[in-house]
Copies of this chain bind each other. A is one copy, B any other.
Amino acid sequence: MARYRAVFRCFSGCPGEYPLTQALYRCPQCDGLLEVSHDIEALRERSASAWIKLFEDRWMRTQWPYGSGVWGKREWVAPEVPDDSIVSTGEGGTNIYWAERLGREIGVPDLWVKLCGNSHTGSFKDLGMTVLVSVVRQAIAEGTLATRVLCCASTGDTSASLAAYGAAAGLPVAVLLPRGRVSTAQLVQPLAHGARVFALETDFDGCMEVVKELSRRRLVYLANSMNPLRIEGQKTVALEIVQQFDWESPDWVILPSGNLGNAAALHAGFE
């Protein structure tokens, strides 16, 4: 494991690299997005067929942490997280369905659906959250983090996932949401997992501003999707699709999009 490494770099190309265990969410120079950058040369030293064999051997095994589709590909995700920092609920490894009848109806005979939401909290967000919370745990173990509080603005899935992984890690979670705009069903998971839920008199963007300010003051660790660690977990969707097609890429992938996090994640995975 030690030979592989990944760091934060500026998405727009500013010089400089930063450890993944640093609480950093934007480029210190241009304030743009960060991305996780892997040592591709080191990864290339292992042949494609050797990677395939390794990933197949680990696929959904009971041996910790390989019951997780994300950590079965750990060298490509977050190579420096030790086993005992990993917080996993066995995410990934979701079924890919041949949508035979729908494909026939719309004239796409070879149509498949990857059901990423078949996961512990019912959302694909678990794929990214396992990476984020595991890296936080590693940072806490290494003594490099000023806070233990995980925080996000959310109206649903993100808070459910963060609360579940925070609870599994034994870390406090704070969720900020716009008062009166979140359904009871969406509140159940954060509350059941013991998160502190704050209803603010603002909209989602207003909550997000508060989370950013709290993280700037180092009172919380920011778990929203501007944190590039989540992309690293979500990119395993692309790796799994290729694996499930016997290591061939599909011609097209169709994704729902909000802030295009999944588009970025699947691009990173296919690349």
A62 CB-CB contact with B under 8 Å? yes
- Do A118 and B115 touch (CB < 8 A)? no
Contact of A62 among B97, B118, B120, B246 (CB under 8 A): B246
A186 CB-CB contact with B under 8 Å? no
Copies in the complex: 2
* Number of residues on chain A facing chain B (CB within 8 A): 21
A95 CB-CB contact with B under 8 Å? yes
Chain B residues with CB under 8 Å of A95's CB are 67, 89-90, 120
A85 CB-CB contact with B under 8 Å? no
A87 to chain B: closest CB distance in Å?
12
Interface string of A117-143 (1 = CB under 8 A from B): 011101000000000000000000000
Of the candidates A59, A90, A95, the one having the most CB atoms from chain B within 10 angstroms of its own CB is A95
Of the candidates A59, A60, A119, the one having the most CB atoms from chain B within 10 angstroms of its own CB is A60
Contact of A89 among B61, B62, B97, B120 (CB under 8 A): B97
- Do A60 and B60 touch (CB < 8 A)? yes
The residue in chain B whose Cβ has the minimal distance to the Cβ of A170 is: B101
A76 to chain B: closest CB distance in Å?
19
Chain B residues with CB under 8 Å of A101's CB are 170
Chain B residues with CB under 8 Å of A60's CB are 59-60, 93
Report how far A119 CA is from B101 CA in the complex, Å: 22
Interface string of A92-103 (1 = CB under 8 A from B): 011101000100
Instruction: Taking A62-B243, A89-B95, A90-B95 as given, write out 6 further A-B residue pairs in contact, using a Cβ cutoff of 8 Å, ordered by the A residue number.
Output: A59-B60, A60-B60, A60-B93, A62-B244, A118-B118, A122-B122
8 smallest CB-CB distances across A and B, nearest first, come from: A90-B95, A60-B60, A62-B244, A67-B95, A89-B95, A60-B93, A59-B60, A118-B120
